[in-house]
Amino acid sequence: MDLALLRTFVTVHRAGSFTRAAALLGLSQPAVTSQIRTLERQLGRPLFLRQARGVTPTTIGDELAHKAAPHLDALVEITEAGLDEESSVRTLHLAGPPEFTAERALPALTALTRDDGHGIALRATFGTAEESLEGLGAGHHDLAITTARPRGALLTATPLCDEEHVLVAAPRWAARIGPGKLHRDAAPSLEKFPVVEVHESLPLVSRYWTAVFDTRPAVSGTVVVPDLRAVLACVASGAGLAVVPRYLAAPALESGELVALLDPPVPPLRTYFLVVRTGTLALPHIARAHEWLLRAAVDWT
């Protein structure tokens, strides 16, 4: 079987469309379509179901991708690395949410970048869980840190750590709410105050309200900014209330710059997953980074 046909097939499987696969491979869409049809004729089975928006793999297509993709990735790794010992430094492409990647993952991996000819060069990309998983599946990244567990056999996820969420505000807001109202029945009182969030849909506040108050929040965002570090800065300046990871808020809480408004018996948690393309842990530089992050995460929970 022609390896070029398999490479095109795996790229289409990961990209979900002939058009995106053609762009990734530097081929025309008709060329990609022709290669997939050739492979389907050789196998005697359809590999994709054509739809209005992209393609969906058949059961045979999923099975072939699961078997072939790790080996193709390994061949690409060998080709890129070469046989020269002086070229043994490999580049690790990591994707994840900006705050967690910057504050936790990248500092944990810097020990692997030692300058002895056997270290790892790091390249980081920030994005949503959906963007990171899509890029990982398409071969743009080696590792992805996400808050969503991927479906299917092409990607393998390992729980990395749990992140505790805390409801915070500047001291002046806590004083206005009043200490007698800071309990599990405080939702109506809290909803009178402005909210700072990372998205218009209020994902963190909604999750917190559901877990702690067993209800949906009847609020909208007063300040919406897509970075939790910016959310913290706005809250510290008095913009309102916010739900943030405790590890990010810890310095401000310790200094008194921020106040935790509630201390629920079971705090809301969010799980992070460390995701790879199935089979790529056979590649030493990916396996080392994967293991290093799992070891570091023991101290994060």
- Above 50 in pLDDT, residue 32? yes
- Tell me the per-residue pLDDT of 185-229, one tens digit each, with 9 for 90 and over: 667 778 888 999 999 999 999 999 999 998 898 888 999 999 999
Report how far apart the first and last C-alpha atoms of the chain are (Å, whole number).
47
Quote the CA–CA distance of 190 and 165 in Å, as a whole number. 16
Quick one: average pLDDT of 35-51?
92
**Cβ count near 247 (within 10 Å):** 17
Per-residue model confidence (pLDDT) at position 228: 96
The pLDDT value recorded for residue 222 is: 92
- Percent of the chain, pLDDT > 90? 52
Per mean pLDDT, which range of 33-42, 135-144, 182-191 is the poorest?
A: 182-191
- Among 38-42, 74-78, 132-136, 139-143, name the one with the lowest average pLDDT: 74-78
pLDDT value for 23:
80
Residue 281 pLDDT class (50, 70, 90 cuts): confident
DSSP string covering 115-137: SSSS-EEEEEEE--HHHHHHHHH
Whether 3-82 shares its CATH topology with 90-161+272-298 is answered no
- Least confidently predicted of 3-7, 96-100, 196-200, 292-296: 3-7
Token digits of residue 122: 């790091």
In 3D space, the residue among 19, 57, 16 whose CA is nearest the CA of residue 39 turns out to be 57
**What does DSSP say about strands 143-146 and 120-126: parallel, antiparallel, or unpaired?**
unpaired
Confidence of residue 160 (pLDDT cuts 50, 70, 90): very high
State the average pLDDT for the chain: 87
On the question of pLDDT at 240 being above 50, the answer is yes
Statement: residue 157 has pLDDT above 80? yes
CATH number of 90-161+272-298: 3.40.190.10
CATH of the structural domain 3-82, one choice from 2.60.40.60, 3.40.50.10860, 3.40.50.150, 1.10.10.10: 1.10.10.10
For residue 27, the model assigns a pLDDT of: 82
Amino acid at 135: G
All structural domains of the chain with their residue ranges: 3-82, 90-161+272-298, 163-269
Which DSSP string do the residues of the chain spell out, in sequence order? --HHHHHHHHHHHHHSSHHHHHHHHT--HHHHHHHHHHHHHHHTS--EEE-SSSEEE-HHHHHHHHHHHHHHHHHHHHHHH-S-GGG--EEEEEEE-HHHIIIIIHHHHGGGG-SSSS-EEEEEEE--HHHHHHHHHTTS-SEEEESSPPPSSSEEEEEEEEEEEEEEE-HHHHHHH-GGG-STT-HHHHTTS-BEESSTT-HHHHHHHHHHHSS------SEE-S-HHHHHHHHHTT--BEEEEHHHHHHHHHHTSSEE----SS--EEEEEEEEETTGGGSHHHHHHHHHHHHHHTTT-
Q: What is the pLDDT of residue 180?
A: 45
Please, which pLDDT band fits residue 277 given cuts at 50, 70 and 90?
Answer: confident
Report the topology of domain 163-269. Answer: D-Maltodextrin-Binding Protein; domain 2 (3.40.190)
Q: Which residues pair with 260 in a beta bridge?
A: 168
